[in-house]
């Protein structure tokens, strides 16, 4: 099992006489029955009973979440993203630029030099480009860590060009692009592009027999995935029924729980990254249309009847936040959830409407400590645009179902230091023990730095942080620390910090101490 619950108790043993022994045994039987009953009912009345719910990768594979440590971003040249976005991505991280040949590389280098991009921040990947090359999110690989801490590029099937469907999950699958003989255009070239990517970067491929189109799949890094139900139709078309699809996701990608939600477009690609965004393990950011838009009730029903009843891997209800969207072309909605989270920055598509500034403010509010960067994409303002791009998009490069997230893909750090924290409830009894459990996995295999894995805490309003060293538990990769009790009414802020011998340093929340976990004593 990936998430474990257990009850901890202590028996005090001494040497009584025979009659006392019988009485004690009878009492003990009653106590044990009461104890077992309390465990089965998850009773938290006894502050000495600890019932942690923690993540353990165990014998499973694990697929990385979007916000986990990344080396940089994969995209293609010629560009299908704004040049200012490329400049920012190069400044913040590393560019993995896919080109078809040497001439294409030279062309990219010419423009990169003009845009003052440091060539040391660029790696060129040579690969053939098919009809869907722009959408690296959809055909590109995700990062999977095996139970032996090996890093692999998970390469799903991406063979048919842009399947679409209606609202109902049992609506027939159709395709946007067909050839002159009315046959579905195949994207085998793009499906195969992961092979030269893996060869040139030196990463192994985990070949997946399923369709897991990138824009259709979101994960929390803890074995939970989210998709709209078009993903089942895509796999059924490919010959994989729903039962086998879920089994293969569990065994290969580690998705022990797969949340399939309703489609949200009256007709479209139904990619979930245009509806919502996981921003951490327990928070979902959902687009909210204007209340006079035809999709308002559909989005609202998904939130109230589906997302609101789901539980996080830590068995809590998800915190559901809203980002208001608006019409930008007739009835099309600006796809603000179609943003890229990369390390400590969020890159947001803008649609040249007044709502843009409100969307950036929302992103800033829900992601404290992150840099929020917005990007318009008027093709007439771009220094370099191919005729193919202009023919496809017209005058504006972002679309309601196809924006910034769709055309970028992280290359995750194979030696990352993974952290996940089971947070203390927001409100707790002042007499209850405040024990924090954190999973730390060093994928570099070089070990954690001793005494550098810490919980830092303070009373809200204070400036100095107090430090507690995390203690290993009997469970591999699981650590704990206990925050001292304080008076009722006090709010405590805390975060986790860890360092590996490979030099990786991580915190949770990621932008701590700007962002912190917190609870209030009652």
Q: Indicate whether 235 and 187 sit together in one domain.
A: yes
Domain count, the chain: 2
Strands (E) in 78-186, as ranges, are: 95-99, 122-126, 142-145, 151-157, 163-166, 174-175
Half-sphere exposure of 389 (CA within 13 A, CB side): 23
- 53 pLDDT band, cuts 50/70/90, is confident
Q: Indicate whether 485 and 407 sit together in one domain.
A: no
Asked, for residue 52, whether it belongs to a domain, the answer is no
What is the domain-level CATH number for residue 150?
3.75.10.10
Q: Indicate whether 89 and 237 sit together in one domain.
A: yes
**Is the predicted pLDDT of residue 90 greater than 50, yes or no?**
yes
Question: What's the whole-number mean pLDDT along residues 190-217?
Answer: 97
- The pTM of the full predicted model, rounded to 2 decimals, is 0.90
Contact 410, 95 (CB under 8 A): no
Q: Indicate whether 224 and 322 sit together in one domain.
A: yes
CB atoms within 10 A of CB 142: 23
Sheet hosting strand 163-166, strand order edge to edge: 174-175, 163-166, 267-268
Contact 74, 122 (CB under 8 A): no
Asked, for residue 42, whether it belongs to a domain, the answer is no
The chain-wide mean pLDDT, for the chain, equals 90
CA distances from 326 to 301, 349, 515 (A): 18, 13, 29
- 506 pLDDT band, cuts 50/70/90, is very high
Contacts of 423 (CB under 8 A, 6+ apart): 314, 436, 517, 519
**DSSP assigned state of 423:** P
- CA separation for the pair 370, 347 (Å, rounded): 10
- 52 pLDDT band, cuts 50/70/90, is low
Q: Indicate whether 136 and 252 sit together in one domain.
A: yes
Which strand (E) or helix (H) includes residue 365? helix 355-366
Q: Indicate whether 107 and 222 sit together in one domain.
A: yes
CB atoms within 10 A of CB 21: 12
Asked, for residue 334, whether it belongs to a domain, the answer is yes
Q: Indicate whether 521 and 377 sit together in one domain.
A: no
Q: Where does a domain end: 412, 438, 463? A: 412
Q: Indicate whether 407 and 477 sit together in one domain.
A: no
Task: Please give the pLDDT value at position 165.
Answer: 97
- CA separation for the pair 485, 507 (Å, rounded): 23
**DSSP assigned state of 58:** T
Question: What's the whole-number mean pLDDT along residues 279-287?
Answer: 97
Q: Indicate whether 434 and 346 sit together in one domain.
A: no
**Is the predicted pLDDT of residue 191 greater than 70, yes or no?**
yes
Portion of the chain with pLDDT greater than 70, in percent: 90
* Local structure of 360: helix, strand or coil: helix
Q: Where does a domain end: 412, 438, 455? A: 412
Q: Which residue has the tokens 């996701």?
A: 249
Question: What's the whole-number mean pLDDT along residues 361-374?
Answer: 98
pLDDT digit string (tens) for 253-276?
999 999 999 999 999 999 999 999
Asked, for residue 378, whether it belongs to a domain, the answer is yes
Asked, for residue 54, whether it belongs to a domain, the answer is no
Task: Please give the pLDDT value at position 13.
Answer: 30
Q: Indicate whether 289 and 437 sit together in one domain.
A: no
Q: Indicate whether 174 and 307 sit together in one domain.
A: yes
Contacts of 32 (CB under 8 A, 6+ apart): none
Task: Please give the pLDDT value at position 20.
Answer: 38
Question: What's the whole-number mean pLDDT along residues 442-455?
Answer: 96
Q: Indicate whether 300 and 378 sit together in one domain.
A: yes
Task: Please give the pLDDT value at position 106.
Answer: 98
Q: Where does a domain end: 371, 386, 412? A: 412
Domain that holds residue 420: 416-522
């Amino acid at each position: 099992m990936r998430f474990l619950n257990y009850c901890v108790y202590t028996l005090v043993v001494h040497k009584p006489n025979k009659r006392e022994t019988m009485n004690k045994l009878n009492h003990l039987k009653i106590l044990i029955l009461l104890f077992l009953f309390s465990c089965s009912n998850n009773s938290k009345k006894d502050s000495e009973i600890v019932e942690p719910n923690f993540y353990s990768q165990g014998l499973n594979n694990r697929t990385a979440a979007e916000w986990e440590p990344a080396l940089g971003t994969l995209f293609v040249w010629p560009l299908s993203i704004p040049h200012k976005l490329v400049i920012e991505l190069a400044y913040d991280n590393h560019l993995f630029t896919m080109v078809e040949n040497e001439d294409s590389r030279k062309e990219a280098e010419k423009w990169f030099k003009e845009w003052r991009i440091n060539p040391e921040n660029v790696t060129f990947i040579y690969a053939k480009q098919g009809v869907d090359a722009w959408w690296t999110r959809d055909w590109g690989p995700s990062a999977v860590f095996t139970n032996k801490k090996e890093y692999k590029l998970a390469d799903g099937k991406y063979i048919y060009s842009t399947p679409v469907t209606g609202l109902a999950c049992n609506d027939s699958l159709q395709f946007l692009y067909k050839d002159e003989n009315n046959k579905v255009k195949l994207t085998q070239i793009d499906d195969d592009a992961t092979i030269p990517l893996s060869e040139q970067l030196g990463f192994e491929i985990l070949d997946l027999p399923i369709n897991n189109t990138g824009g259709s799949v979101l994960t929390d890094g803890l074995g939970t995935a989210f998709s709209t139900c078009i993903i089942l139709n895509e796999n059924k078309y490919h010959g994989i029924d729903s039962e086998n699809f879920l089994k293969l996701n569990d065994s290969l990608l580690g998705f022990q729980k797969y949340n399939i939600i309703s489609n949200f477009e009256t007709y479209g690609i139904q990619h979930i990254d245009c509806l919502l965004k996981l921003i951490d393990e327990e928070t979902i950011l959902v687009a909210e249309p204007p209340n006079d838009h035809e999709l308002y009730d559909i989005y609202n029903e998904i939130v109230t009847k589906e997302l609101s009843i789901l539980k996080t891997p830590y068995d809590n209800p998800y915190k559901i936040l809203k980002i208001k969207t608006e019409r930008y072309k007739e009835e099309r909605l600006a796809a603000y959830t179609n943003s890229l989270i990369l390390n400590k920055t969020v890159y947001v598509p803008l649609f040249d409407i007044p709502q843009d500034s409100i969307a950036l403010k929302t992103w800033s509010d829900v992601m404290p400590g992150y840099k929020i960067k917005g990007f318009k994409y008027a093709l007439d303002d771009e220094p370099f645009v191919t005729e193919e791009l202009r023919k496809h998009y017209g005058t504006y490069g972002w679309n309601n179902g196809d924006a910034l997230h769709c055309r970028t893909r992280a290359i995750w750090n194979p030696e990352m230091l993974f952290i996940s924290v089971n947070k203390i409830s927001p409100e707790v009894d002042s007499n209850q023990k405040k024990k924090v459990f954190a999973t730390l996995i060093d994928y570099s295999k070089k070990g954690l730095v001793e005494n550098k894995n810490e919980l830092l805490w303070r009373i809200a309003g204070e400036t100095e942080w107090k430090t507690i060293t995390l203690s290993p538990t009997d469970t591999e990769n699981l650590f704990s620390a206990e925050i001292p009790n304080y008076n009722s009414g006090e709010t405590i802020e805390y975060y986790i910090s860890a360092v590996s011998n490979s030099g990786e340093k991580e915190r949770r929340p990621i932008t701590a101490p700007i962002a912190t976990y917190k609870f209030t004593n009652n």
